[in-house]
Amino acid sequence: LSFADLAFEIASLYCAPDEIPPADLKDIMQNSYKSFNHAEIVPTVKVGDMYVMELFHGPTFAFKDVALQALGNVYEYFLKRNGRRLTVLGATSGDTGSAAIYGLRGKENV
């Protein structure tokens, strides 16, 4: 199961099919992780006798990219569907703001 497919399966538990049809949700999740620089998106590596998830392969190298790349695509989906626009102002010195802004970067109606 790919990471995008796993994300789809988990998101499906929280997204009603009448809100986001399964085919659309699958596309959203597939597109959400294209900017990650590792084929496995979030690889798991063995360190000693433990396994550790590497959450830094996203576009801003912050673990928050895992969620915020998908969230940006969900915003775009609803904004396009409802013919609405969204303005986002970000002011931060931390990695949350950059991950959030990058998740919305280039999205239609944002």
What amino acid positions are annotated as catalytic residues?
A: 64
User: In whole angstroms, what is the distance from residue 48 CA to residue 87 CA?
Assistant: 46
Element (DSSP H or E) covering residue 34 = none
Whether 80 and 91 have beta carbons less than 8 Å apart is answered as no
- Which among 108, 61, 101 is positioned nearest to 82, based on CA atoms? 108
User: In whole angstroms, what is the distance from residue 62 CA to residue 108 CA?
Assistant: 24
